[in-house]
Amino acid sequence: KQEVTQIPAALSVPEGENLVLNCSFTDSAIYNLQWFRQDPGKGLTSLLLIQSSQREQTSGRLNASLDKSSGRSTLYIAASQPGDSATYLCAVSAFTGANSKLTFGKGITLSVRP
């Protein structure tokens, strides 16, 4: 059974710092990995998706990497801002199409101090 772990549970950094959020998964047989942002009491906003055949994806100040063989992904946030404060979740899917359910980590709650 796939397990996704995100450590630490919470992180506090000063504004402007570059930071890395980690995600690990137990079964390397994945099809893709998604990073989401969740604001308190809100829905899930997809940030980046990496296919298992890819090594990384970039969107603005965000860069996600994937090392499938070691079961790890990182989300790099450059020049963090207070508006980046949120919970960041990673999720993996093992299959495509109708069986592509996502298995989530518990998330890392990021606080960026002005």
Partner 1 sequence: EPEVTQTPSHQVTQMGQEVILRCVPISNHLYFYWYRQILGQKVEFLVSFYNNEISEKSEIFDDQFSVERPDGSNFTLKIRSTKLEDSAMYFCASMVEGFSYEQYFGPGTRLTVT
Which among 17-25, 61-69, 77-85, 104-112 is the span making contact with partner 1, rule CB under 8 A? 104-112
Start-to-end CA distance of the chain, whole Å, equals 41
- 45 is a contact residue toward partner 1 (CB under 8 A): yes
What is the dihedral sign for C-alpha 41, 10, 64, 61? Answer: positive
Smallest distance from partner 1 to CB 45, Å: 8
- 98 is a contact residue toward partner 1 (CB under 8 A): yes
For partner 1, which residue of 13, 62, 72, 104 counts as binding (CB under 8 A)?
104
CA pair distance 29, 114, nearest whole angstrom? 40
For partner 1, which residue of 11, 13, 19, 49 counts as binding (CB under 8 A)?
49
Which one, 65 or 80, has the nearer CB to partner 1?
A: 65
Closest CA to 35 of 2, 74, 9: 74
Q: In the window 53-92, what residues touch partner 1 (CB under 8 A)?
A: 89, 91
Helices (H) and strands (E) in the chain, counts: 0, 11
Smallest distance from partner 1 to CB 38, Å: 9
- 32 is a contact residue toward partner 1 (CB under 8 A): yes
The set of long-range contacts for 47-51, using a CB threshold of 8 Å and a minimum separation of 24, is 47/75, 47/88, 48/75
